[in-house]
Amino acid sequence: MWQDIYTELKEKNLNPYPPGLHKGLCEEPYVVIKEGTQIPSIQSNVLGQKVIDIIVFVPLSSYIAVDPYMKKVRSALKELSYLRKTGLETPIITDDDKKAYTSSIEYVIQKKLEG
């Protein structure tokens, strides 16, 4: 599923990366796709949800570009029917190491639990 999200964002030219692979400063907007916690369903130990964080980075010189870029990301991910937005989005903060504004959008995927 991570690969499907990556492919969808790549096809829309939204510059996706796995965690830890973007090198250097933020010179153009990009997103990091991070898998998070797996949460079992209250009614079952067979089904659950996997949290996916989409972390957005936009150069510090472009604060006004953050919202339009995030809208493009949300729009692209709407096309993946198994991905559900939780409504949790972090406020825009600065990342001094990357020289970027950053925010994240949380999604969940319904899935069969492994193991």
Q: What is the pLDDT at residue 24? A: 95
Using a cut of 0.75, tell me whether the model's pTM lies above it: yes
Alpha carbon 110 to its chain's center: 16
Q: How far apart are CA 77 and CA 53, in angstroms?
A: 12
| Nearest partner of 53 among 89, 1, 14, judged by Cα | 89
Report the top-level CATH class of 2-112.
alpha beta
The pLDDT profile of the chain, 115 residues, written as one tens digit per residue, is 789 999 999 999 999 999 999 999 999 999 999 998 887 777 767 777 889 999 999 999 989 999 999 999 999 999 999 999 999 999 999 999 999 999 999 999 887 766 5
SS3 109: strand
Q: What is the pLDDT at residue 41? A: 72
Domain assignments of the chain as residue spans, ordered by start: 2-112
- The Cβ of residue 88 has, within 10 Å, a number of other Cβ atoms equal to 12
